[in-house]
Amino acid sequence: MKKTLVPVLVFTVLTFAVACTQAPDAPKATTAEPQQTPANAGATGQGNLKVDAQQSMVTWIGTKPTGRHNGSIKLTEGAVNVANGQLAGGSFVMNMNTVAVLDENMDESDRSDLTNHLKSEDFFDAAKFPDARFEITAVQPATPDTAAKTESNAPAATHNITGNLTLKGVTKSVTFPATIALTDAGLNAKANFNIDRTNWGITYKSDKSLGNKIIYPEVNIGINLVAKP
């Protein structure tokens, strides 16, 4: 009996630990009202690099007490401005109709249902708001106190980026750590942080009173931005 009971208990504990899924351990973006975009943040002007939409990607992870889902969103266009060898501004556009669910071992029917739900009015309302946008308003060097790792295995952040994030027609300023590498070949910026989706009016099943039926408001966002001359 004891030999049988121990594996069952271990399996139960591990199942409970996996089921109680929270947002990934990542810096929480500071959210505020929209900021004025500097003149050098646009897509024209000396020193601009064009965002490579094929190599760039935005990823997301959403969680609930019974598990998590992860996926991606494709970029359509963008440009960044470099001045005096430093990132000075820029913007990029995300196509919300490209929201994809990348869960492993997921039934294709369930994957299709979840994808369509994410595009619905409950979440991104992609039919009405097909584009989401991020516009840089400030770039500051990271200090020892703010140089949090952008991912668990990533190098410490080199900068803190502030920008206006527009989702579902709502614009908020967000600040998050990022790792920026600038070479003659172009720019590569990586970031990983959590946002509260309710700040953008995406409130579906975010009420804590729902208990185990809640979908946590915190969403993990990953950015891999590649820009070239």
Q: Binning pLDDT at 50, 70 and 90, where does residue 23 land?
A: confident
Over range 52-69, report the average pLDDT.
96
DSSP-assigned beta bridge partners for residue 226: 188
CB neighbour class for 229 (10 Å; exposed up to 12, middle 13-18, buried from 19): exposed
The pLDDT, as a whole number, for residue 47 is 58
Answer whether residue 134 shows pLDDT above 90.
yes
| pLDDT tens track for 64-114 | 999 999 999 999 999 999 988 899 999 999 999 999 999 999 999 999 999
Q: Are 178 and 140 in contact (CB under 8 A)?
A: no
CA terminus-to-terminus distance, the chain: 68
Burial 64-74 (b: 16+ CB within 10 A, else e): beeebbbbebb
- In the chain, % of residues over pLDDT 70: 81
Percentage of the chain beyond pLDDT 90 is: 76
Give 8: exposed, middle or buried? Use CB within 10 Å, 0-12, 13-18, 19+. exposed
- Model-level pTM greater than 0.95? no
Query: Which of the four pLDDT bands, split at 50, 70 and 90, describes residue 5?
Result: very low
Residue 154: its pLDDT value, please? 59
Q: How far apart are CA 192 and CA 177, in angstroms?
A: 8
Domain-wise residue ranges, the chain: 22-228
Instruction: Tell whether the model's pLDDT for residue 45 goes beyond 50.
Output: no
pLDDT band at residue 18 under the 50/70/90 scheme: very low
β-pair partners for 73? 58
Lowest mean pLDDT among 5-14, 62-71, 209-218: 5-14
Tell me the average pLDDT of the chain.
86
CATH number listed for the domain at residues 22-228: 2.40.128.110
Over residues 30-50, the mean pLDDT reads: 73
Least confident window among 33-42, 71-80, 124-133, 220-229: 33-42
Q: Is the pLDDT of residue 131 over 80?
A: yes
Q: What is the mean pLDDT of residues 188-196?
A: 97
pLDDT band at 1 (very low <50, low <70, confident <90, very high): very low
Whole-number pLDDT of residue 82: 92
